[in-house]
Amino acid sequence: MVTHDQEEGLTMADRIVVMNHGVIEQVGTPTEIYRDPDTLFVADFIGEMNQVEGEVLFADKVQVGSLELTCIPHEFDRGAKVIAAIRPEDIVPHDDNKAKKSGNVFEATISSMEFLGSFWRADIVSTELADAHLSANFSINACRRMSLSKGKAIYVDLPAERLKIFARPN
């Protein structure tokens, strides 16, 4: 559902309502809903979202596989089983381990690549993430600069400010 309010100068796409079986999940601008979804349903409904199971360590930390990842602060209790989620375009590739010294950087292997015009969609897998697969969108320039290809080991960063935590679905 899209709303329109001439008094406030809004246009057709200024506000979106996302509903799930007749229940409003989130109301906001397209950018707000895409970049900061309130629920896993909204995150998955509006664009693609990588999802991996994890366990809460602290208000801004989650354990996924053998990795302790910093994330957007959340309200879940320590030990809660959660879903850590990040969009493919938010995954940052690195070609050496210098980046390993900071943030949520870990080694992964590119298991496949697909050219999609303005970027490459890579499927990456890491034993550190308990062999979870992630979709990552890499720019053409990054692929060229780092000679990214199927089978190549790279380092990737899941920026803490883009890693959201959601309740596991029942």
Residue 102: is its pLDDT beyond 80?
A: no
Residue 84: is its pLDDT beyond 50?
A: yes
Closest by CA to 157, choosing from 94, 72, 73, 96, is: 94
The proportion of the chain whose per-residue pLDDT surpasses 90, expressed as a percent, equals 85
Map out the domains of the chain as residue ranges: 1-47, 48-167
Q: What is the pLDDT of residue 69?
A: 97
Report phi then psi at 112, rounded to 5. Answer: -165, 160
Query: What number of H helices and E strands is found in the chain?
Result: 3, 12
Please give the average per-residue pLDDT across 59-63, as a whole number.
97
* Beta carbons of 38 and 45 less than 8 angstroms apart: no
Residue 2: is its pLDDT beyond 70?
A: no
Fold topology of 48-167: OB fold (Dihydrolipoamide Acetyltransferase, E2P) (2.40.50)
Please give the average per-residue pLDDT across 154-167, as a whole number.
96
To the question of pTM greater than 0.85 for the whole model, the response is yes
Cα–Cα distance measured from residue 86 to residue 142, given in angstroms and rounded to the nearest whole number: 19
Q: What is the pLDDT of residue 13?
A: 65
| HEC profile of 53-102 | EEEEEECCEEEECCEEEECCCCCCCCCCEEEEEECHHHCEEECCHHHHHC
Span 104-131, pLDDT tens digits? 999 999 999 999 999 999 999 999 999 9
